[in-house]
Chain A
């Protein structure tokens, strides 16, 4: 019975790697996600719908396709991969590649959540800040971003959950190397491929569910905290 509460080194390393990969992926992509969400919410430019489509692509194409594209682009002989290799960064078959795969797959979800919350901000507030002497960049950091914080947070958590679950793009791009690229879903898959792997698979499955529930609770908790802190002006007193 106690074996249920003990993780083998194999399982530990998969869990640890999953968390590391997910945290890196969302942290690195967050500034880009916020910037792109702002551009999509506030700017009009030719080709915007094309960019929008491109942005949503990882959500709609099979993850294996994304993984394969990453392999073509960032593999050792790929256009970007060989250049990165020359400055000492290897992504293919490396945990950093797993970070890239997870980040790409989770990016549309992140941008979408942040974009929606920026779009819901009253442009009048930004105009008011301008007349009070704030340059556009200051308006962004003192008005737009703080008011979009609930969306940024939910985008962050959604993306984090998506990264933890990433399978197809990861296994295609960086393969399934224990300790290097074998994240929790990949380890779970490995268990299903070996005899007597059921117990381990079930254990990893429960861990994945537990992490997802924790993330949801954390997100709900933060959203409530932000709501009581910011109290939207929508509730006009009269």
Chain B
């Protein structure tokens, strides 16, 4: 994944350039307001940058030079939001299937049953979305994003709305999916603990710029 973005909104200049690993978990780390979420939104196509070159493997998602701007539905990017954003009028099962159904069969490489067992959500299938706990919702959201067989999974502070016990509960699942499924993860967080437990590579952002990047140990240790 190659990302290069320049975007000015008001006083805030976002000017980043980095490449993410083709597998494993790459963490995007930095304090609130560093511009991490903007990067993820731009990569997913939910926000239009002024200048950018974004490549995922060989696919160009956005290029100012080539005048390419793929709409979000064509980017094949699984996005897990801070708030789970489950569709309240659909059952858990229909939520999980939403993206899966829209993926052509020959592009599906992630099995429904494997996702259910990895995330331990089989017993939730018939439940009403409103009756789920925060941790359960986030697991369904991760499953929903995985089931569209994405080329990459973007996770924007997925544990933020959970208490610390729930966070610890969810971390192993995230570690597990990066290993069981061949999907690289870009994981946004402001918590060094989470990153220590999860990430293979870290990109540190501050005030709209990349300040460090490298392996998890070297980067985090040099900073703290």
Contact = CB atoms under 8 A, between A and B. Distances in A.
B130 A233 contact: yes
A131 B73 contact: yes
A183 to B, nearest CB: 37
Contacts of A135: 71, 73
Given A132-B144, A231-B128, A238-B163, A147 B88 contact: yes
A211 B142 CA distance: 49
B148 interface: yes
A146 B155 CA distance: 27
B133 interface: yes
Given A124-B83, A124-B85, A237-B137, A132 B130 contact: no
A35 interface: no
Contacts of A132: 73, 98-99, 102, 144-145, 148
Nearest to A232: B88
Interface residues of B, number: 38
Contacts of B137: 237
Contacts of A128: 79, 81, 85, 87
A73 interface: no
Contacts of A43: none
A133 B144 CA distance: 12
B88 to A, nearest CB: 4
A236 B134 CA distance: 7
B61 interface: no
Interface in B148-178: 148, 161-163, 166
B133 to A, nearest CB: 5
B78 interface: yes
Report, as a range, how many residues of chain A touch the other chain.
20 to 34
A127 B46 contact: yes
Contacts of A143: 87
A127 B72 contact: yes
B77 interface: yes
Given A130-B46, A133-B102, A237-B134, A231 B85 contact: no
Interface string A109-130: 0000000000000101101111
Contacts of A210: none
A77 interface: no
A230 B128 CA distance: 9
Contact of A147 (B75, B89, B162): B89
B121 interface: no
A129 B137 CA distance: 16
B73 A134 contact: yes
B89 A230 contact: yes
B163 to A, nearest CB: 7
Given A231-B128, A231-B129, A125 B72 contact: no
19 contacts: A125-B85, A125-B87, A127-B72, A128-B79, A128-B81, A128-B87, A129-B87, A129-B98, A130-B46, A131-B44, A131-B72, A132-B98, A133-B76, A133-B148, A135-B73, A143-B87, A229-B89, A231-B128, A237-B136
Interface of B: 44-46, 71-73, 75-79, 81, 83, 85-89, 98-99, 102-103, 128-134, 136-137, 144-145, 148, 161-163, 166
Pairs A-B, 3 closest by C-beta atoms:
A132-B99, A133-B102, A231-B130
